[in-house]
Amino acid sequence: MRSHHDLIIIGGGCAGLSLAARLSSYGEDAPRTLVVDSRAGYSNDRTWCFWRLPGTLAQELVEYEWSQFRIAGAGKEVRVDCSATPYCAIPAERFYWNSLAAISGNERIGLVNQAPVHGVVGGGPGRWEVETAAGSYSATNVVDTRPARAPRQGDALLWQSFLGVEVEYEKGSFDARQVTLMDFGGTPGQRMVFTYILPFDARRALVEITEFSPYAVVPGELQPLLRGALDRLVPGREGRVVRTESGVLPMGMLGASPGGVQWGDGRWSYVQAGVAGGGARSCTGYAFQRIQRWAERCALQIREHGSPVGHAKDPVTLAFLDHLFLRVLRDRPQLAPQLFAQLFGKAATGSVLRFLGDWATAADIVRVVAALPPGPFVKALMSLCAEPAAAWRESLVS
Ligand SMILES: Cc1cc2nc3c(=O)[nH]c(=O)nc-3n(C[C@H](O)[C@H](O)[C@H](O)COP(=O)(O)OP(=O)(O)OC[C@H]3O[C@@H](n4cnc5c(N)ncnc54)[C@H](O)[C@@H]3O)c2cc1C
């Protein structure tokens, strides 16, 4: 007979492992949980960054931090002192090992790798059947963190596609004191492309090319731009590539419920979480801290009420402003360097970072809005109002 679990978590990446690790801290009170994931193992496949605002979680995993970042483009450079809320980085391998150690310390929580899930079916009240390549499992509750289907034009207002290398040079080549958040210099004018540089020390950095566009861009298309950025940064020298990372993240999912799909009646639930479940902030694509907050809340909910929950919806004002901002970027990509420079250059740093980190007060929102040029936003608002409401309202309130 198949073993039955209280909870199956599909996908043991950031969201799945974050939830499993939190549940493991409940000791014998933890629900009988199985994490099933398609991957064969874990590697340093990404670097999670965020600003350390009050309320930041997983701080003990931070390996690097910077107190300054810069935005460059449109002939301007803005340097921002963020020493009050440093920009922090967690290497993925550190997060994975930490989560896996927590899980292995509780025998009520199991992990099966190389188990791609083919399907989930309701097997009757109180029972979900999860079919994987490694066998079938059943559970009362399912949290599904698999990525959504392949990125498609029209599923999000914009897609954030990126390709980066962690590269090491023999001689010092980077200013290790500051992060380059966005440098629009030397990239194709008609495309919204910028370079992101995370310098771990003077010789080693993560250098990434990012493009915001209505469709997903494959890494091969970003490769020549990345090569160009490295040649500009460190002319005439070849670095050693330590690892590569790439991804495509939705910015403003359209038609999807911001809290992801949720079924069930509280006694048996299926909940979508992670980026596919609305875990990423629309205007940035950043998801790590939001996922940590969700995992904390979800674990608590499971302990107290026995059933999982999805991501909290963004307040309507925030969701609306993100939507408008992304529309301006989509419709007038050439304005991107100016908009970001103005945002970080004019508004108080604390206000912008709280806004981006989901902690904005009403006063922060007013400061952020006041820093941006009104013209493009009024136009975007007018075109939004002229559209049939259902098309865009669905992505804001559902
Ligand atoms: C390279 C990269 C860098 C990023 N950097 C940042 C950052 O600096 N700051 C930030 O806030 N956010 C960042 N993000 C965004 C976000 O934080 C990450 O994407 C994060 O990993 C999302 O967590 P998740 O659990 O939704 O997805 P994932 O971590 O990708 O986990 C999904 C899991 O599902 C598994 N899976 C897929 N298909 C199946 C299947 N059929 N069956 C079973 N399992 C399956 C995968 O193997 C994976 O383990 C980054 C994303 C990427 C890709």
Q: How many residues does the chain have?
A: 398
* Distance from Cα 69 to the centre of ligand 1, integer Å: 25
Spatial distance between the Cα atoms of 289 and 126, rounded to a whole number of angstroms: 31
Spatial distance between the Cα atoms of 176 and 137, rounded to a whole number of angstroms: 48
User: Could you tell me how far CA 272 lies from the centroid of its own chain?
Assistant: 15
* Topology of the domain covering 4-47+91-148+256-305: FAD/NAD(P)-binding domain (3.50.50)
Reduced to 3 states (helix: H, G, I; strand: E, B; else coil), residue 19 is helix
Look up residue 103 and give its two tokens: 């899980």
Locate the domains of the chain by residue range.
4-47+91-148+256-305, 156-252, 316-396
According to DSSP, the β-strands at 4-10 and 135-144 are parallel
**DSSP codes of every residue in 117-158:** EEEEEE-STT-EEEEETTEEEEEEEEEE----SSP-TTSEEE
Atom of ligand 1 at shortest range from CA of 132: 42
* Topology of the domain covering 156-252: D-Amino Acid Oxidase; Chain A, domain 2 (3.30.9)
Answer whether 19's CB lies under 8 Å from 94's CB.
Answer: no
Instruction: Encode the chain (398 residues) as per-residue pLDDT tens digits.
Output: 467 999 999 999 999 999 999 999 999 999 999 999 999 999 999 999 999 999 999 999 999 999 999 999 878 899 999 999 999 999 999 999 999 999 999 999 999 999 999 999 987 778 899 999 999 999 999 999 999 877 888 889 999 999 999 999 999 999 999 999 999 998 777 889 999 999 999 999 999 999 999 999 999 999 999 999 999 999 999 999 999 999 999 998 776 555 556 677 767 899 999 999 989 999 999 999 999 999 999 999 999 999 999 999 899 999 999 999 999 999 999 999 999 999 999 999 999 999 999 999 999 999 999 999 999 999 999 988 887 765 566 555 44
Atom of ligand 1 at shortest range from CA of 275: 26
Ligand 1 proximal residues by C-beta, below 6 Å? 10-16, 36-39, 46-50, 116-117, 145-147, 245, 247, 249, 274-275, 279, 286-288, 291
* Distance from Cα 195 to the centre of ligand 1, integer Å: 21
pTM for this prediction: 0.95
